[in-house]
Structure 1
């Protein structure tokens, strides 16, 4: 400490001679600003360049000041002074320079100034320890110990002081080890003498630090960078910490487990302080494992990870702090290392810990587990091929099929959604194997796992159809594989283990898998990619498996009639597939889709689908077969039949069949005839009630069949997420503009409540009559009836009979009420689907420019006015608005002489419709429709404007004179505006 006191006294004795510039430099070296510190360091170093020729005394003073600065905890003094000291030492001891100073003298100054004598406070002692540490780093970095020649004694002294500090103060041991570790890398880059490294290893062992994380790191660096040196004996087998026989000791060392070494010598104490940062020794180990060739005696990365990390840090008895390090290490490998290494880190204990910590938010390591899961997802997003290893690791032998369900996350779902084709081709065989054998004999547990897997397979389909390369053949092949997995387990029994399912599939799970096929095809058809080929591939696969019985017996029994119908469908499909794509490509693909989906319905046990195949054959033969003899009447007849088929598909509450019918209708919309269009509009005209349903579906009191159907459909299935369900539910849309809605709904609710109250009162009255009693809140007007004890058997039997009648009447009333509600929902859904088809129709240029489309106007207007469901009313008006908007200019329908009278009648009918009271949308629709017809008439004949004026005049008279006329003022406002613009055009 003498030099320290001497320096202090010297500063106080010579205040006048203080160099103010130097004082500013030293002040700036402690600045927290990086740029200020570096600028100050450069300024100081410039004072000691050869051209400045500094004296030994100036150098000595500067070194003393710098070493003292390293012992300061003020601001960023240690960093700034360390940089300056490194550069000053390099300048002063540069090769070829003569100086009175020696390296040994510098070491003495460093040792004296950084020495903690024991009389300081705790903080001062810590500052001196850090001063020694930073001083050693600066001396080593400056290179004065190695250049121009290796100074072995001085190097030994530095190492001794550093290791002595590490041993006495375990809390700073990691930093001490880091300095020596980096020095070995620096010596390797300088191609220095291996003797220096050998000395470092000897000093390491002399201080009993070889079996510490720092010791392992230093040893591995020496082993990899200086393999030819002589290593201290009897420390590690084959002089390698990564030797396979040292796995146990290595695990203890890396997790800082204190204890006896093999030779019985006491090892180094644990650091005693837990650090939230990962020890640099792990980086050293990973670098060594990744950078060297595998040898028989050395651990492979997989063995190292299993023994040291999985059985070490993630052992069941391991502390939460060590598991924290484990998660840090896991994330590091996932983020920074090659896919080859990253794919090997999903080991048993780690995945179990990850699962448990993710599952409960209150767990100590939950946030670390979330970060680890996000690291996996981020790597997959960056390199989609990593998805295969991730899924295998989380769901394979080390993980759980129900990983997402247990952890309440969507980790695996997100991973499979990001997977590329290469990864999918690896994941799919694993999933197929897990579906067949979920790893449990319990039927319920197996069903749960299979449900999870089915959901993941569906996520794959949805992600793949929206991918940029979704149209590629390879993508189609991957989608085929998913659909084939579904089909394999959805349609065949697992008897005799032919489809490999253990335990066997339940009926509910098979229904779930069939539902997933529909959901998958729904996404495929919606994306309009492979819509014609993939459904065909699925039914072809099922047909072939039915013949070969490779997956067991087919679950649906088919008689000869059904088999013949299916056989005929496949013949047509084969011919359609062989047709020239250039020739009616849209029609060919549409028919392939229709045939495939109808066959799939047959395979699902739908009895109606068989008759639909016959109708499809009729359409196919008329449209495609024997084109030479084909007549226009036959084509029209086929088109009308096709519309009926599409309507039967559209009537099903299924998003899949809705989209399929829309896609097919898009291809054939220009071929729709007046009869076909009438089939569509007749549905719009039907009532939204039980009577309307019976009219449309020919359900003439067929109660028994309806009950059987309900029993079949209500059978409980497994839980299916709404988003995965193919069944559509039509919900009414809110409309804030309708001020009358709340009151209307309130009134309707009140009526409903009154009706329910009346029903209940009537039921109670009948019940009281049958029992001969009265309600407790009613006055007793008659004498009490005789007790049950006085009743005879005949009387009791009469009461029983009466009660049966009362309850049967009540049940029938409730059933009828439910039937009415269901019928309304069915009709609303059906009308929605028809409006979807009509929207496609009016958007087609060939269709809306056709005179035939005018037939849509009145049905749409009447539906807008009459529908009790606001959503339907608005949608009908929307279709009409779209039609009138598109019909302009060259798209305006052209009139023939034979059609003029019918169009005049249409105009008058529209005006008659406008006189009815209806919602605001109805009034605007009537006005738009009327003007469209006016445009058609005047485009055909300018003189038609005279008749048009007369029609509007009659409507105006009715508005003035008839109390039944409710035409809106806007009807005439729109007419006036049209007259102004049309008048200018006619005059020109």
Structure 2
């Protein structure tokens, strides 16, 4: 016994030979880095080259180790071991080994034994063995040893049986099994293998009841493409083709892995894997790649055989299959994956066909609510469409048609609370817009509902989309050839629906339901908004003229119905005369002519909009046209009169709260700024001098309680209200106090109203003591007394209503005056930029300074000082006004200094200093010796600062003067 123990101990002490290098190689085969795995595979394979003549025992051990490694749970082990296994098997068994006991059967047995799950392992270990078997089969197939002439055919069938058995018993791995067999068909084709290999694969596919599965479809199609002459199993697919047009219903059930698919034979049942995968099955790619837009005749036994078209496939298999109302959320998820894939990768022709009814409905429903199961997938789908359009703008047409046409909804963006369609149309190119704009016009006519309110909402949304297109094109860096025609088509569509009443007798019978007055008014507003965007650049300057011509022609032809605006003969004559002048201007070509054409066109448009004042403006415009363009022999005085009249016309446009008229008046004013006379400039500055109140408004607009003017005012949605904020000047403290008194006076007004009401009723306020005798208070009143009380109550409430109305009028008047002054300051800024070197421009200094000080609106005060700052900035070097006489300029300088002594906001002090220095520079440029007089003027102002309590000149006024003297002394001495 002791001897036995001694022997046992002695054996344990014997060294065990471990090939550390080989251990490292196997370890590196499982490394997650590709380069390390590949290097290890190369080292291992190099030991089994023919020149090394490896021993059978070494080969067998390595194969066992590699097949066992495929069953490892380590992430990268299967990849590294599979590469090494493929290469070693191919290298060792690629040619006959006569002197060796090892053969292909040995390899197959080792694979089967090493990857067999006995059943005693844990669930994870069993899964690892199943994957090991799968990767082993793939390695053997890739090594091509089974397809050698010397290879026993039964080993190939054995591999198929093991793989199909695994696919049948373990549904969660079925797709991977199918993929291996599918790729094997391509391997057989590359090896030019015999047909029996493919036939046996198809036979076992059917015997395992896997023919009618997505994997089965993929394998079948690969065999049909690569081995068209093999014998296919009978009664599985009509004409042996899963894509036969008559198999569409069955194909739909198979592809969505439905277990309810019925068939006449057992082998034709559609098998469901019972496992849902968030990734799209590989079979979809195989099927989709074999479909075209039109049916394709197959060269099969039956001449009537035809493959299903892409449209029919998508409608039946995807739309009615994956996206049917009864489909699960998981299947719809697959549908969205497929939709995104087609939208992103397929040719434009096919991508245009996937906007089917069920799909678009599901897309809308899922986009609309954030907490829905497929909301994120729907968002991805919407973004996929937008991305495709941004890369391929022509796709915009199909997208819009799909989302808003018969399959979608006119109100797609509204229903989904997104801007999907809006972003698409903005990116659309010319070719796409040629299809989108007519579609939108037809939808404007018939939005697809008979409900008037719903139709109005749809039409408003469509009008917004058309406006978005116009704005996008207007802001584009360059004008695309042919784009003007599209833009005109958009505006002509608005014209069709904005100005004409469609009745049963009209030629245009397509407008259902009839347009409401509010919708027509909206369309007229959209026309103004479109023109506003287009005239911002010179690319599409001729469109306003085209629009008014279109209205004129449609009025004559009545092609769209009866014109809704009533115009008397006088107005019609004025419009005719305007069009004659416009036609003559069209033959000329310069900036002034283009500006005048724009003014004419927009004035005519105002007439068509029913503005009574616009008709009289046409007469004034005609006078301006005759004097400026028509009669070359016109006297200078007449031309000046025309210029003054033009300013008045522009002011009437500028007074309207519309960005379009603001932009137009600025363009026209800029073109004619050089010809503005003293009277014209005075018309502008007089507005700056007017009070920002009801009295100021009545003075400027001669409003004698005229009603209706406000109704004709066209307000763009782009206009922004001006916030009325006190400028904070001391001199206007009375106004501040007045406002304070107005606020504090509300209680007094209430008390007065209650007192008058109590007097009329013969009662008292509840909080007042009753010292009077109340006898008779309960006595009944007769009819005369009741009537007298009614009369008194009417008077009290009328007085109250009038008081409240006056208060609102005052507020509205202030806002109107502030808006008007803003527009005038915009014009003056243009003037000082273009005409700063004109002597006449100096007349702007005092009005701007006074406005800076007096305005109760801080924004106006700052803007006035900004215009003056812009003026002084441009007056540098030789750009100063040239003087004919210095006397008026000296008076101007003294007036500026007087203005500087008034208290005002900080901007006022700075503006006074800038204005004073500008005048001094102008005098010095005319005659250097005048600088002595300027010193005297500043000295007088300094005296006033020291001695007068009324002088509030700021220290910075003299600091700026001193700095200028230092910087200019050298120049003045030369």
1:363-418 alpha-carbon deviations (Å, 9 max, x no partner): 11111111111111111111111100000000000000011101111111111111
Partner residue of 2:939 out of 926, 929, 953: 953
Distance between the aligned counterparts of 2:642 and 2:967, measured in 1?
A: 44
For 1:953 and 1:329, the matched residues in 2 are separated by: 86
Distance 1:816 1:732, change over 3 A: closer
Report deviation, 1:725.
Answer: 1.3
Match of 2:47 in 1: 47
Equivalent residue for 2:296, pick from 294, 297, 310:
294
1:872 counterpart (855, 860, 864): 860
Shift of 1:261: 3.6
Structure-1 residue corresponding to 2:212:
211
Partner of 2:870: 882
Aligned: 1:447 with 2:456: yes
- Following TM superposition, by how much is the alpha carbon of 1:734 offset from its aligned partner in structure 2, in angstroms? 11
Partners of 1:14 and 1:244 lie apart in 2 by 75
1:778-789 correspondence to structure 2 within 5 Å? 778-784=768-774, 786-787=776-777, 789=779
Does structure 2 retain, via aligned residues, the 8 Å contact 1:654–1:728?
A: no
Aligned to 1:357, the other structure's residue is in SS state helix
1:647 aligns with 2:651: yes
Which residue of 1 is the match for residue 3 of structure 2? none
Distance 1:13 1:827, change over 3 A: farther
1:393-408 pair list within 5 angstroms: 393-408=402-417
- CA shift for structure 1 position 834: 0.4
User: 2:729·2:854 contact (CA, 8 Å) conserved in 1?
Assistant: no
8 A contact 1:911–1:926 mirrored in 2? yes
Q: CA deviation at 1:108?
A: 1.2
CA distance in 2, matches of 1:839, 1:224: 76
Distance (Å, rounded) in 2 between the aligned partners of 1:815 and 1:395: 48
Cα distance in 1 for residues equivalent to 2:729 and 2:15: 90
> How does the TM-score come out when normalised to structure 1?
0.93
1:808 equivalent among 798, 801, 811: 798
Return closer, same or farther for 1:346/1:958 CA change in 2, 3 Å cut-off: same
Number of aligned residues: 951
CA distance in 2, matches of 1:183, 1:780: 110
CA distance in 1, matches of 2:780, 2:540: 79
Over 3 Å counting, the alpha-carbon distance change for 1:619 and 1:265 in structure 2 is same
Q: Give the SS at the match of 2:266.
A: coil
Q: Distance in 2 between matches of 1:265 and 1:149?
A: 36
Instruction: Give the whole-Å Cα distance in 2 for the aligned partners of 1:664 and 1:358.
Output: 47
- Mapping of 1:87-236 within 5 angstroms? 87-94=87-94, 100=100, 101-147=102-148, 152-236=153-237
Q: Does 1:18 find its partner at 2:22?
A: no
1:734–1:419 distance in 2 versus 1, CA, 3 Å: farther
Q: Give runs of aligned pairs for residues 662-741 of structure 1, distance below 5 A.
A: 662-700=666-704, 702=705, 705-706=706-707, 708-709=708-709, 725-732=717-724
Instruction: Find out whether 1:323 has 2:323 as its counterpart.
Output: no
1:426-505 correspondence to structure 2 within 5 Å: 426-469=435-478, 471-496=479-504, 497-499=506-508, 500-505=510-515
C-alpha deviation, 1:769, in angstroms: 1.3
2:89 and 2:751 mapped to 1: Cα distance?
Answer: 105
Q: What CA distance in whole angstroms lies between the structure 2 residues aligned with 1:138 and 1:373?
A: 42
Q: Deviations over 1:72-97 (max 9, x none)?
A: 11242122211221222222234587
Q: What whole-Å deviation, never above 9, does each CA across 1:482-537 have from its counterpart, x for those lacking one?
A: 11111111111111253320111111111111111111111111234212x10011
- Contact 1:864/1:873, CA 8 A, preserved across alignment: yes
Given the superposition, is the C-alpha separation of residues 739 and 307 from structure 1 closer, same or farther in structure 2, using an over 3 Å criterion?
farther
In structure 2, the CA distance between the partners of 1:214 and 1:812, relative to structure 1 (3 Å rule), is same
Structure 1 residue ranges without an equivalent (≥5) = 1-11, 715-721
| CA contact 1:772–1:785 (8 Å) conserved in 2 | no
Alignment CA distance shift 1:347-1:744 (3 Å): farther
TM-score, length of structure 2 as denominator length = 0.94
Question: Is the 1:95–1:148 contact (alpha carbons within 8 Å) kept by the matching residues of 2?
Answer: no
For residues 186 and 198 of structure 2, what CA distance do their matches in structure 1 show?
10
Per-residue CA deviation, residues 722-764 of structure 1 (Å, 9 max, x unaligned), is 9x715442235899xx8999x9999887544312112111111
Shift of 1:143: 2.2
Distance 1:239 1:82 in 2: 35
Partner residue in 2 for 1:4: none
Taking the aligned partners of 1:824 and 1:49, their CA distance within structure 2 comes to 99
Cα contact 1:518–1:726 (8 A) shared by 2: no
Task: Find the aligned partners of 1:370 and 1:149 in 2 and give their Cα distance.
Answer: 57
Matched, 1:834 2:824: yes
Query: Which secondary structure does the structure 1 equivalent of 2:501 belong to?
Result: coil
CA deviation digits over 1:626-675, x for unaligned, max 9?
32x13322222211111111111000000110011111111111111111
Cα pair distance change 1:711/1:457, threshold 3 Å:
closer
Q: CA deviation at 1:568?
A: 1.0
Change (3 A) 1:687 1:316: same
Q: Equivalent of 2:352, from 318, 343, 348? A: 343
Cα deviation digits, residues 897-925 of structure 1 (max 9, x gap): xx311101000000010010001110010
The answer to whether the 8 A contact 2:115-2:133 is kept is: yes
Q: Which residue in the other structure is 1:285 paired with?
A: 287
Matches within 5 A, 1:277-676: 277-290=279-292, 294-295=296-297, 297-469=306-478, 471-496=479-504, 497-499=506-508, 500-531=510-541, 533-579=542-588, 581=589, 585-627=590-632, 629-676=633-680
1:291–1:670 CA distance, 2 compared to 1 (3 A): closer
Q: Secondary structure at the match of 2:952?
A: coil
Q: Deviations over 1:114-159 (max 9, x none)?
A: 1122222222221111110111111112222235777643322211
Change (3 A) 1:292 1:614: closer
In the TM superposition, what is the alpha-carbon distance from 1:710 to its structure 2 partner? 5.2
Is the 2:210–2:271 Cα contact (8 Å) retained in structure 1? no
CA contact (8 A) 2:253 2:261 kept: no
Change (3 A) 1:529 1:789: farther
What pairs with 1:734-813 in structure 2 (closer than 5 Å)? 751-784=741-774, 786-787=776-777, 789-813=779-803
Report the counterpart of residue 73 of structure 2 in structure 1. Answer: 73
1:745-801 Cα distance to aligned partner (Å, 9 max, x none): 998875443121121111111111111111111222212363465222222222111
SS in 2 for 1:399: coil
- Matches for 1:810-825 after TM superposition, within 5 Å: 810-825=800-815
**Change over 3 Å in CA distance of 1:429–1:72 after alignment to 2:** same
Measured against aligned partners, the alpha-carbon deviations of 1:169-192 in whole angstroms (never above 9, x if no partner) come to: 111101100111122233334544
In 1, the alpha carbon distance for the partners of 2:791 and 2:51 equals 125
Q: Is the 8 A contact 2:726 2:856 kept in 1?
A: no
Hey, what does 1:920 align to over in structure 2? 906
Compare 265-274 and 412-421 and name the one that shifted more: 265-274
CA positional deviation for 1:712: 7.0
Query: What secondary structure, in the 3-state scheme, does the structure 2 residue paired with 1:278 have?
Result: coil
Q: Which residue of 2 aligns with 1:861?
A: 849
Distance 2:154 2:362 in 1: 50
Query: Aligned equivalents of 1:79 and 1:802: distance in 2?
Result: 101
Distance 1:748 1:301 in 2: 78
Deviations 1:858-906 (A, max 9, x none): 000000000000000000000000101110101111111xx31110100
SS at the partner of 1:233? coil
- Contact kept in structure 1, 2:656 and 2:713, CA below 8 Å: no
Stretch of structure 1 that moved more, 471-480 or 338-347: 471-480
Provide closer, same or farther for how the CA distance between residues 330 and 14 of structure 1 changes in structure 2, counting only shifts above 3 A. Answer: farther
